[in-house]
A = this chain, B = another copy of it.
Amino acid sequence: MNAPTTHSMLTDSFVSAELYTQVQQFYARQMGLIDDRLPEEWASTFTEDAVFEEASRMAPLRGREAIAASCRVRAERLEAEQIDFRHWLAMLDIRPQPDGTLHTRVYALAMRTGRGGPLDIFASVVCRDELVQSDDRWLVRHRELQHDGAER
């Protein structure tokens, strides 16, 4: 049981600085798009056939159009309620796969602030992505969000 973990902590199992910082930048910009309420731009960071799973909250979203539609509803609601929403991601781990895709695991915090109201950091989530490269861009092909405190 120790073997895989021990191996995974070898420095040569870490990804390169270039790849690590590319994915850090990808997430900073991607989350900026949803926080800035840009549904089309947000959806464009997923593949056409992407699957977005958040089992404790909703049925899976299948395809870029469903992801855009979900973001539009969300953006309209936040706009109406005048809520600033932020997604923080950190503690990024990247595992390159033999087929060139990347499996990532990253911690996420979801937080919101109403107009004149207090900051509310309300959810800790573990995000597991499959990233694929397409035309010199990284895209999410599969995202699974597990909320802390949810039934497993």
Contact = CB atoms under 8 A, between A and B. Distances in A.
Interface of A: 1-2, 5-6, 8-12, 14-18, 20-22, 24-33, 38, 40-41, 44-45, 84, 86-94, 105, 107, 109, 111, 113-119, 121-124, 133, 136-138, 147-151
A74 to B, nearest CB: 17
Q: Decide if the interface of chain A is mainly helix, strand, loop or mixed.
A: mixed
Nearest to A146: B84
A93 B137 contact: no
A27 B26 CA distance: 19
20 contacts: A1-B41, A2-B41, A5-B38, A5-B41, A10-B136, A11-B136, A11-B138, A14-B21, A15-B21, A16-B21, A17-B17, A20-B24, A25-B94, A29-B93, A31-B91, A32-B93, A113-B147, A113-B148, A119-B121, A119-B124
Given A6-B44, A16-B18, A24 B92 contact: yes
Contacts of A86: 107, 124, 148
**Most B Cβ at <10 Å: residue of A1, A29, A30, A133:** A29
